[in-house]
Structure 1
Amino acid sequence: MTDRVVVGGALFDRGRLLAARRSAPPELAGGWELPGGKVEPGESPEQALVRELREELGIESELLERIPGTWPLKPGYVLQVWTARLLAGEPQPLEDHDELRWLAPHEIDSVDWLELDRPAVREAARRLAAGAHD
Protein backbone atom coordinates (compact mmCIF):
# COMPACT_ATOMS: atom_id res chain seq x y z
CA MET A 1 0.00 0.00 0.00
CA THR A 2 1.32 3.44 -0.85
CA ASP A 3 1.53 6.20 1.69
CA ARG A 4 -1.24 8.79 1.87
CA VAL A 5 -0.02 12.23 0.84
CA VAL A 6 -0.46 15.22 3.12
CA VAL A 7 0.18 18.55 1.39
CA GLY A 8 1.56 21.68 3.00
CA GLY A 9 1.63 25.21 1.68
CA ALA A 10 4.54 27.57 2.19
CA LEU A 11 2.35 30.62 1.62
CA PHE A 12 4.26 33.76 0.69
CA ASP A 13 2.97 37.31 0.71
CA ARG A 14 5.01 40.55 0.64
CA GLY A 15 8.24 38.78 1.56
CA ARG A 16 6.72 36.84 4.47
CA LEU A 17 5.84 33.18 5.19
CA LEU A 18 2.59 32.17 6.89
CA ALA A 19 2.86 29.97 10.01
CA ALA A 20 -0.22 28.32 11.51
CA ARG A 21 -0.49 27.08 15.13
CA ARG A 22 -2.31 23.75 15.53
CA SER A 23 -5.30 23.53 17.84
CA ALA A 24 -5.98 19.83 17.10
CA PRO A 25 -5.33 16.95 17.46
CA PRO A 26 -4.09 17.15 21.09
CA GLU A 27 -0.65 15.68 20.34
CA LEU A 28 0.03 18.48 17.81
CA ALA A 29 -1.80 21.34 19.55
CA GLY A 30 0.41 24.37 20.13
CA GLY A 31 2.92 23.42 17.45
CA TRP A 32 3.39 25.56 14.36
CA GLU A 33 3.12 24.19 10.83
CA LEU A 34 2.66 25.02 7.20
CA PRO A 35 -1.11 24.87 6.57
CA GLY A 36 -2.54 22.09 4.41
CA GLY A 37 -4.08 18.67 4.72
CA LYS A 38 -4.74 15.26 3.23
CA VAL A 39 -5.17 14.60 -0.47
CA GLU A 40 -8.63 13.13 -1.04
CA PRO A 41 -9.33 10.32 -3.54
CA GLY A 42 -9.54 11.67 -7.09
CA GLU A 43 -7.60 14.85 -6.28
CA SER A 44 -4.10 15.78 -7.36
CA PRO A 45 -1.85 17.05 -4.56
CA GLU A 46 -2.00 20.50 -6.14
CA GLN A 47 -5.82 20.51 -6.19
CA ALA A 48 -5.88 19.31 -2.59
CA LEU A 49 -3.59 22.09 -1.40
CA VAL A 50 -5.61 24.86 -3.06
CA ARG A 51 -8.78 23.35 -1.50
CA GLU A 52 -7.17 22.94 1.95
CA LEU A 53 -5.91 26.54 2.00
CA ARG A 54 -9.42 27.70 1.06
CA GLU A 55 -11.04 25.56 3.79
CA GLU A 56 -8.48 26.17 6.55
CA LEU A 57 -7.70 29.84 5.90
CA GLY A 58 -10.52 31.24 3.72
CA ILE A 59 -8.15 32.38 0.97
CA GLU A 60 -7.46 31.83 -2.69
CA SER A 61 -3.89 30.90 -3.56
CA GLU A 62 -1.71 30.08 -6.53
CA LEU A 63 0.82 27.28 -6.23
CA LEU A 64 4.28 28.20 -7.48
CA GLU A 65 6.59 25.17 -7.19
CA ARG A 66 7.00 21.98 -5.25
CA ILE A 67 9.80 21.95 -2.70
CA PRO A 68 11.87 18.85 -3.51
CA GLY A 69 11.51 16.04 -1.02
CA THR A 70 8.94 13.95 0.76
CA TRP A 71 8.91 13.82 4.55
CA PRO A 72 7.49 10.92 6.57
CA LEU A 73 4.80 11.85 9.07
CA LYS A 74 3.00 9.23 11.14
CA PRO A 75 3.03 5.69 9.70
CA GLY A 76 1.28 5.60 6.33
CA TYR A 77 1.50 9.35 5.69
CA VAL A 78 4.06 11.54 3.93
CA LEU A 79 4.31 15.31 3.58
CA GLN A 80 4.86 17.14 0.30
CA VAL A 81 5.19 20.94 0.28
CA TRP A 82 4.60 23.60 -2.38
CA THR A 83 5.37 27.27 -2.30
CA ALA A 84 2.28 29.36 -2.98
CA ARG A 85 1.29 32.97 -3.12
CA LEU A 86 -1.77 34.68 -1.72
CA LEU A 87 -4.20 35.75 -4.44
CA ALA A 88 -7.27 36.90 -2.50
CA GLY A 89 -8.52 37.10 1.05
CA GLU A 90 -6.92 37.60 4.45
CA PRO A 91 -5.96 34.31 6.09
CA GLN A 92 -8.06 33.37 9.13
CA PRO A 93 -7.64 30.32 11.41
CA LEU A 94 -10.89 28.61 10.36
CA GLU A 95 -10.04 24.92 10.91
CA ASP A 96 -7.49 23.09 13.11
CA HIS A 97 -5.56 26.29 13.97
CA ASP A 98 -5.95 28.94 16.66
CA GLU A 99 -3.36 31.49 15.53
CA LEU A 100 -1.64 32.60 12.33
CA ARG A 101 1.53 34.66 11.98
CA TRP A 102 3.26 36.19 8.98
CA LEU A 103 7.01 35.74 9.45
CA ALA A 104 9.76 37.67 7.69
CA PRO A 105 12.85 35.59 6.80
CA HIS A 106 14.68 36.65 9.98
CA GLU A 107 11.63 35.66 12.11
CA ILE A 108 11.26 32.08 10.83
CA ASP A 109 12.75 30.59 14.01
CA SER A 110 10.53 32.71 16.30
CA VAL A 111 7.84 30.00 16.46
CA ASP A 112 8.11 26.38 17.61
CA TRP A 113 7.65 24.50 14.34
CA LEU A 114 6.46 20.91 14.48
CA GLU A 115 9.55 18.72 14.10
CA LEU A 116 8.24 17.07 10.94
CA ASP A 117 7.70 20.44 9.22
CA ARG A 118 11.19 21.81 9.95
CA PRO A 119 13.03 20.53 6.83
CA ALA A 120 10.37 21.95 4.49
CA VAL A 121 10.20 25.20 6.48
CA ARG A 122 13.98 25.62 6.20
CA GLU A 123 13.81 25.22 2.43
CA ALA A 124 10.79 27.53 2.17
CA ALA A 125 12.63 30.15 4.25
CA ARG A 126 15.68 29.87 2.00
CA ARG A 127 13.50 30.44 -1.07
CA LEU A 128 11.69 33.30 0.63
CA ALA A 129 14.95 35.02 1.57
CA ALA A 130 16.31 34.56 -1.96
CA GLY A 131 13.23 36.21 -3.46
CA ALA A 132 12.50 38.72 -0.69
CA HIS A 133 14.12 41.55 -2.64
CA ASP A 134 12.21 40.99 -5.90
Structure 2
Amino acid sequence: MENRIVVGGVLIHHGRVLAARRSAPAEVAGRWEFPGGKAEPGETQQQALERELFEELGVRARAVGRLPGEWPIRAGLVLRIWSAELLEGEPEPLEDHSEVRWLGPDELSAVDWLEHDREVLPEVARLLAAG
Protein backbone atom coordinates (compact mmCIF):
# COMPACT_ATOMS: atom_id res chain seq x y z
CA MET A 1 0.00 0.00 0.00
CA GLU A 2 1.29 3.42 -0.93
CA ASN A 3 1.84 5.99 1.80
CA ARG A 4 -0.58 8.87 2.06
CA ILE A 5 1.17 12.23 1.86
CA VAL A 6 0.83 14.91 4.49
CA VAL A 7 2.08 18.33 3.37
CA GLY A 8 3.50 20.92 5.74
CA GLY A 9 3.90 24.53 4.69
CA VAL A 10 6.86 26.76 5.44
CA LEU A 11 4.89 29.95 4.77
CA ILE A 12 7.29 32.85 4.26
CA HIS A 13 6.32 36.52 4.20
CA HIS A 14 8.58 39.58 4.57
CA GLY A 15 11.54 37.54 5.80
CA ARG A 16 9.60 35.68 8.49
CA VAL A 17 8.07 32.20 8.67
CA LEU A 18 4.71 31.22 10.13
CA ALA A 19 4.60 28.82 13.06
CA ALA A 20 1.28 27.35 14.25
CA ARG A 21 0.59 25.93 17.71
CA ARG A 22 -1.39 22.67 17.71
CA SER A 23 -4.59 22.48 19.74
CA ALA A 24 -5.29 18.83 18.83
CA PRO A 25 -4.79 15.91 19.03
CA ALA A 26 -3.88 15.80 22.72
CA GLU A 27 -0.45 14.18 22.23
CA VAL A 28 0.82 17.18 20.24
CA ALA A 29 -1.32 19.99 21.68
CA GLY A 30 0.79 23.00 22.64
CA ARG A 31 3.67 22.10 20.30
CA TRP A 32 4.44 24.13 17.17
CA GLU A 33 4.48 23.06 13.54
CA PHE A 34 4.46 24.20 9.96
CA PRO A 35 0.73 24.02 9.15
CA GLY A 36 -0.72 21.72 6.52
CA GLY A 37 -2.56 18.44 6.20
CA LYS A 38 -3.28 15.33 4.17
CA ALA A 39 -3.39 15.38 0.39
CA GLU A 40 -6.73 14.16 -0.94
CA PRO A 41 -6.89 11.53 -3.72
CA GLY A 42 -6.25 13.18 -7.09
CA GLU A 43 -4.67 16.28 -5.56
CA THR A 44 -1.08 17.30 -6.17
CA GLN A 45 1.01 18.10 -3.10
CA GLN A 46 0.99 21.75 -4.13
CA GLN A 47 -2.81 21.81 -4.42
CA ALA A 48 -3.14 20.07 -1.05
CA LEU A 49 -0.88 22.59 0.66
CA GLU A 50 -2.68 25.58 -0.83
CA ARG A 51 -6.09 24.13 0.17
CA GLU A 52 -4.95 23.22 3.69
CA LEU A 53 -3.46 26.68 4.35
CA PHE A 54 -6.76 28.22 3.27
CA GLU A 55 -8.84 25.85 5.44
CA GLU A 56 -6.62 26.04 8.52
CA LEU A 57 -5.50 29.67 8.39
CA GLY A 58 -7.82 31.49 5.97
CA VAL A 59 -5.01 32.60 3.66
CA ARG A 60 -4.26 32.22 -0.02
CA ALA A 61 -0.76 30.93 -0.61
CA ARG A 62 1.29 29.48 -3.45
CA ALA A 63 3.42 26.37 -2.98
CA VAL A 64 6.94 27.19 -4.18
CA GLY A 65 9.20 24.17 -3.72
CA ARG A 66 9.61 20.99 -1.74
CA LEU A 67 12.24 20.96 1.00
CA PRO A 68 14.64 17.99 1.20
CA GLY A 69 13.55 14.95 3.18
CA GLU A 70 10.39 13.20 4.27
CA TRP A 71 9.26 11.98 7.67
CA PRO A 72 7.05 9.04 8.61
CA ILE A 73 4.30 10.25 10.94
CA ARG A 74 2.67 6.88 11.54
CA ALA A 75 1.95 3.77 9.49
CA GLY A 76 0.82 4.82 6.02
CA LEU A 77 1.44 8.58 6.52
CA VAL A 78 4.51 10.46 5.33
CA LEU A 79 5.18 14.18 5.84
CA ARG A 80 6.72 16.28 3.07
CA ILE A 81 7.43 19.94 3.72
CA TRP A 82 7.08 22.66 1.10
CA SER A 83 7.97 26.32 1.09
CA ALA A 84 5.11 28.64 0.23
CA GLU A 85 4.53 32.34 -0.25
CA LEU A 86 1.64 34.26 1.23
CA LEU A 87 -0.52 35.78 -1.52
CA GLU A 88 -3.37 37.31 0.50
CA GLY A 89 -4.92 37.30 3.93
CA GLU A 90 -3.72 37.44 7.52
CA PRO A 91 -3.28 33.97 9.05
CA GLU A 92 -5.70 33.07 11.85
CA PRO A 93 -5.91 29.76 13.76
CA LEU A 94 -9.20 28.46 12.31
CA GLU A 95 -8.75 24.67 12.71
CA ASP A 96 -6.39 22.47 14.77
CA HIS A 97 -4.37 25.43 16.08
CA SER A 98 -4.66 27.76 19.07
CA GLU A 99 -2.13 30.40 18.02
CA VAL A 100 0.01 31.48 15.06
CA ARG A 101 3.20 33.47 15.20
CA TRP A 102 5.56 34.97 12.60
CA LEU A 103 9.19 34.14 13.41
CA GLY A 104 12.30 35.84 12.08
CA PRO A 105 15.55 33.94 11.41
CA ASP A 106 16.83 34.58 14.95
CA GLU A 107 13.55 33.41 16.54
CA LEU A 108 13.31 29.91 15.04
CA SER A 109 14.29 28.24 18.32
CA ALA A 110 11.83 30.33 20.37
CA VAL A 111 9.00 27.77 20.15
CA ASP A 112 8.69 24.06 21.00
CA TRP A 113 8.60 22.50 17.51
CA LEU A 114 7.36 19.00 16.74
CA GLU A 115 10.41 16.83 15.97
CA HIS A 116 9.97 16.53 12.20
CA ASP A 117 9.41 20.28 11.87
CA ARG A 118 12.51 21.00 13.97
CA GLU A 119 14.56 18.89 11.55
CA VAL A 120 13.89 21.29 8.67
CA LEU A 121 14.79 24.45 10.61
CA PRO A 122 18.30 24.68 9.08
CA GLU A 123 16.70 24.67 5.62
CA VAL A 124 14.11 27.24 6.76
CA ALA A 125 16.90 29.47 8.10
CA ARG A 126 18.63 29.19 4.71
CA LEU A 127 15.41 30.20 2.90
CA LEU A 128 14.92 33.20 5.21
CA ALA A 129 18.54 34.28 4.73
CA ALA A 130 18.14 34.04 0.95
CA GLY A 131 15.23 36.46 1.20
TM-score higher than 0.5: yes
C-alpha deviation, 1:89, in angstroms:
0.3
List aligned pairs for 1:117-128, cutoff 5 A.
117-128=117-128
Distance 2:2 2:122 in 1: 26
C-alpha deviation, 1:68, in angstroms:
1.7
C-alpha deviation, 1:22, in angstroms:
0.1
**Where in structure 2 are there 5+ consecutive unaligned residues?**
none
Distance 1:124 1:6 in 2: 18
Task: Let me know the Cα RMSD of the aligned residues.
Answer: 0.9
AA matched with 1:119: E
C-alpha deviation, 1:53, in angstroms:
0.2
Q: Which residue of 1 aligns with 2:76?
A: 76
Contact 1:50–1:60 at 8 Å: present in 2 too?
Answer: yes
Structure 1 residues 44-98: Cα deviation after superposition (integer angstroms, max 9, x where no partner): 1111000000000000001111112111112211111111111000000000000
For the pair 1:30 / 2:24, whether they are aligned, the reply is no
Distance 2:75 2:60 in 1: 31
For the pair 1:103 / 2:108, whether they are aligned, the reply is no
The aligned length equals: 131
C-alpha deviation, 1:125, in angstroms:
2.1
Contact 1:19–1:103 at 8 Å: present in 2 too?
Answer: yes
Q: Which residue of 2 aligns with 1:53?
A: 53
AA matched with 2:20: A
**Which 4+ residue blocks in structure 1 deviate beyond 2 angstroms?**
none
Q: Percent identity?
A: 61
Distance 1:63 1:129 in 2: 19
Normalized against structure 1, the TM-score is what?
0.94
Q: Which residue of 2 aligns with 1:42?
A: 42
